[in-house]
Amino acid sequence: MFDRDEERFATLGLAAKLPSAVIDSIWDIIDQDLKGVVRLPQVLRFALIARNGQVTVAFDAQHDAIMEFDLPVSYQREFPETVAVLDDGQYQTMMLMDELSV
């Protein structure tokens, strides 16, 4: 799951509400901070939090740990509260929660 060499996508709905810097940062968090550290289920959920005007990405590893990552990106009210990332075994897709149908 979540192999960095597999194809990765973001839905148009997500790309319309979130800058590519945040999308790319979430992929980096998966690759550099989560993979091999915590068990990754088929669907990952990331909360986007405003902290001191910047974006903080929070990940809950289902009772293993809650990890937060501060990004050097200004938070905008239009950002979604939560982002889902699905690995269906063929593709990895980042999307808005209401686009998730698993």
pLDDT for residue 31: 96
pLDDT for residue 62: 73
> Which residues are CB-neighbours of 30 under 8 A, at least 6 positions away?
2, 40, 44, 85
Cα–Cα dist 16/10, whole Å: 10
Q: Give just the sign of the alpha carbon dihedral 61, 79, 7, 99.
A: positive
Model pTM greater than 0.85?
Answer: yes
The pLDDT tens digits of the residues spanning 47-93 come to: 999 999 999 999 987 766 689 999 999 999 999 999 999 999 889 99
Tokens representing residue 96 in the block: 């808005």
Tokens representing residue 88 in the block: 């269906």
